[in-house]
Amino acid sequence: QKEVEQNSGPLSVPEGAIASLNCTYSDRVSQSFFWYRQYSGKSPELIMSIYSNGDKEDGRFTAQLNKASQYVSLLIRDSQPSDSATYLCAVMGTYNTDKLIFGTGTRLQVFP
């Protein structure tokens, strides 16, 4: 079982729609969760972090965490073509280490 799993996509959504990106993780004791965005040919950059169950909103982005079900999601409202990128889920605290474990990423395509 992969430690952090994401659907590789591509996930295609029309401009203005809500894009929903999902991530599951294997270790129940994981403590911290992050979303990185990576544009094609560029480096990953941190866009959201979440530590407790529930929702965390930042502008058009909402991170959702459900530790009981071991999943974390990222919602992007009013998607724009400029949101087209690969979104990497990262988990910290897996198996009682402080490593950041990354998923393979989901490629999002927002079409006009």
> Of the two residues 41 and 112, which places its CB atom closer to other proteins in the complex?
41
CB of 23 to other proteins, least distance (A): 11
Binding test (CB under 8 A) with other proteins, winner from 21, 103, 108, 110: 103
Q: How many residues bind other proteins (CB under 8 A)?
A: 22
Cis, peptide link before residue 10, omega less than 30° from 0: yes
Contact between residue 46 and residue 22 where contact means Cβ atoms under 8 Å apart: no
CA distance 94 to 88: 16
Q: What share of the chain is helix, strand, coil (3-state, %, to 5)?
A: 5, 55, 40
Q: Which two tokens stand for residue 21?
A: 């990106």
Q: Which residue in the set 25, 30, 34, 87 belongs to the binding site for other proteins (CB under 8 A)?
A: 34
Residues for the chain: how many in total? Answer: 112
Q: Does 101 bind other proteins (CB under 8 A)?
A: yes
Contact call for residue 44 and other proteins (CB under 8 A): yes
Question: Which residues lie near other proteins (CB under 8 A)?
Answer: 2, 4, 8, 32, 34, 42-46, 49, 88, 90, 92, 98-105
